[in-house]
Amino acid sequence: MSTKGTHIPDWLAVPFAGITPAPSQNKGQDLFPTGNWRAIRPVYRDKMPPCNNACGTNEKIQGYLDLVKRGKYLDAYALVKEDMPFPSVTGRVCYHPCEQACNRGQYDEAISIRAVERFLGDLGQALPRDVVKAGPPNGKKVAVVGSGPAGHSAAYQLARLGYAVTILEKSPKAGGLNRGGIPDWVLPQDVLDREIERLVELGITIKTSTEVGKDVTWDQLKKNYDACVLAVGLTEPNSVRAEGEDKKGVHYGLPFLRDIGMGTSDVKLGPRVAVIGGGNTAIDCAREALRQGAEEVTLITVETAAEEMPCVPEDLHDMLAEGVDLKHGWAMTAALGNGKVEALQLHPARFSGAINASPIAVDREAPAERFAVDNVIIAVGQHASLKWLPEEFKNERGTIAIDRFGRLGDTKFFAAGDIVQLGSGQPLMVVNAVGDGKRVAFNLDKVLRGEPLQERMVSIDVITDLARMNMTYFPKFPRVQQEMLAPASRRRTQDEVIRAFSEEQAMEEANRCFSCGTCNACDNCYLVCPEPCIVRSVRSNGLYKILVDYCKGCRVCIEECPTGCLEGVPELDFDTGVVRMDTAFAITQGLHGRQAEELRRLPEKAPKDIENWR
């Protein structure tokens, strides 16, 4: 009997024929920790989706699209509200850098992110009470000067952090550029009003018709508040330095829009209107001019082609659809006419540098063109009005000098938005100002709490390569288009041009999202694992667990991860959950660990001389 006298040590005891509970049950995997076969370990590692990265305030776009997919609209709204106080506004006005960055754009068409954001924003508007609540009061008071995008954002975040916030607004109505710079047919006033109401609901005090330097002094700000955020924006229109700019019938872009927005405009436009400028404000002015009664509107730009214009392409497209003409390569050098502008003198011009922010070279030797108009609207940018600001905080660009945390020296003053970003290279767009306001609010909070400030983090792993995802899982599917008012019926009305998504459309569009690089709980790994060593307790994002004692590293889950969230990481990079062949050094659960323990004790038991070694 060869098996007579044999015994199996406790630490090697195996059940009958190796039959064990299923690996997914009752510690079934403890017994046979085959994880030591693994050279590559699957790891859930969320990347930065390009949309989130491109967004001026880093909205968690992939996150809320995923929630919309699942019909969790309120959760999606709460998520967008973390970074964006007014999705109803940006859902209408944003230049959506997210959509330009969207990986789906390389595949078929980018996701209509802005339209989904608007769907969520409008949902939030309809709520009797907002989901966002003010933080527990911390007893500190902060003044926010200006109620435009940056000020609104800073005030909102500070209120959430528990500050008693007072907004000081120069105009009779709060809203800043949101109200004064964006026409009604893009952003209806009542939508903005509702967002301002939300600020009041958060406990924020809004003092309108209160101008810093006039109604409130610098010293009062310093004395009456623990800190202050300056978000006064760029209020003064730039001149084109042409002769006769003071003639009647010459208007400036932002005040033109602002007065209409505030309801204080007395502008009566003639049938022929020229708009000077190639940016978004110029386009808004041209389209507004049509709605204010103009018959023929011409946009005159220094840019020599439409593609060079620094504007949102679809706004340009919509403007042309409404019947505005383009005239490229000209600069206005004079407003001609007797007291009232009757014509423009135009000279050929181009930018002297490679970018269209560089100085303009006007060819005055060339024959001038006379361009007959009844009105001209000059929309070539804005600058700041900072008479109230102590000299030490002004810089050579004519804006507020700040450090990289948005702080004015070592004071408790911070600044955000266009007033600091003009000429910085950051686009002067609503969403960028919102991001600025958010970051400054957090920095201010850190300063008041005496915590060290941290550099703005830059994502190092933005997933932009489709090869890192598994495109097999994504059939091509066209973008859901937002309905629009017919161009012919847009003139003479302040009705919104772009229509909202229905619930079905929002969900259909959100469904197109790849969830680039991010776990969206699709269950694919869970289903494809040939061994049951991927488990999930709750079906929710990122809640899968890989049983590393058992996973053999076959890589099927990695290859089959649609979003590219799962990565293969060399096992040697780990020092936890390791099951290695050299069992003497393995510290793990189950039988393997017991054996390791036994083997570790061997040297202690070993006799000194070899003769007694058994």
Partner 1 sequence: MATATVKKRRVRINGCVAAAQVAKYADVDVIAAYPIRPYTATMMALAQMVANGELDAEYIVADSEHSQLSIAHGASSSGARVFTGSSGVGVQFAYELYSPISGTRMPVQMMIADRTLDPPGDFGSEHTDALSTRDMGWLMGWSCDAQEAFDNHLLGFRIGEDHRVLLPQMVCQDGFFVSHVTTDVELPDPGQVKEFLPPYRHPYPLDPRRPVSHGPQIMPEQGPPLQLERARAMEGAVPVIEQAHEEFARIFGRRYDPWIEEFMTDDAEVVFFIQGAHAVTARYAIRHMRERGAKVGLVRLKTIRPYPTDRVKDALSKFKVVGVMETNMGLGSVSSGGVLYAEVCAALYESPKRPLVFSFMAGMGGEAIVLKEFYWMTQKMLDAQKRGAIEKRTHWVGFEE
Residues at the contact surface with partner 1, assessed by CB under 8 A: 1-3, 6, 8, 12-14, 16-25, 28, 31-34, 36-37, 552, 581, 583, 591-592, 595
User: What SS3 string covers 400-431?
Assistant: ECCCCCCECCCCCEEECCHHHHCCCCCCCCHH
C-beta of 406: minimal distance to partner 1 in Å?
A: 58
Q: Smaller CB distance to partner 1: residue 26 or 217?
A: 26
List 587's β-bridge partners, or say none: none
What separation, in Å, do the N-terminal and C-terminal C-alpha atoms of the chain show? Answer: 23
CB of 154 to partner 1, least distance (A): 57
Alpha-carbon distances, residue 132 vs 121, 197, 413 (angstroms): 13, 13, 26
- Triad 575, 577, 580: Cα angle to 5°: 75
Nearest distance, CB of residue 9 and partner 1, angstroms: 9
Closest separation in Å from C-beta 582 to partner 1: 12
**What is the rounded radius of gyration, in angstroms, for the C-alpha atoms of the chain?**
32
Which residue lies nearer to partner 1 by CB, 194 or 592?
592
Burial of 476 (0-12, 13-18, 19+ CB in 10 A): exposed
Q: Report, in Å, the least distance between residue 92 CB and partner 1.
A: 55
Task: Output 23 or 233, the one with its CB closest to partner 1.
Answer: 23
State which residue, 23 or 175, has the beta carbon closest to partner 1.
23
CA distances, 339 to each of 274, 372, 468, 613 (Å)? 18, 15, 65, 116
Give whichever of 265 and 583 is closer to partner 1, judged by the CB atom: 583
| 3-state secondary structure at position 44 | strand
Nearer to partner 1 among residue 459 and residue 589 (C-beta): 589
| Shortest reach from residue 547's CB to partner 1, in Å | 13
| CA dist., res. 140 & res. 603, Å (int) | 66
Closer residue to partner 1 (CB): 25 or 217: 25
Instruction: Return the SS3 of 60.
Output: coil
Helices (H), ranges, 204-307 = 218-224, 253-262, 280-291
Nearer to partner 1, 24 or 304 (CB): 24
Q: Across 282-365, where does the E strand assignment appear?
A: 296-301, 325-328, 330-336, 343-351, 360-362
Distance CA 557, CA 554 (A): 8
Compute the least distance from the CB of residue 571 to partner 1, in Å: 16
Q: 586 is written with which tokens?
A: 């393995």
Q: Which is nearer to partner 1, 506 or 533 (CB)?
A: 533
479-491 burial code (b ≥16 CB/10 A, e <16) = bbebeebeeeebb
Residues 123 and 102: their CA atoms lie apart, in Å, by 24
| SS3 state at 306 | helix
Is 35 or 348 the residue whose CB approaches partner 1 more closely?
A: 35
CB of 18 to partner 1, least distance (A): 5
Phi then psi dihedrals of residue 512, to 5 deg: -75, -15
Taking the complex as a whole, how short is the minimal distance between the CB of residue 33 and partner 1, in angstroms?
A: 7
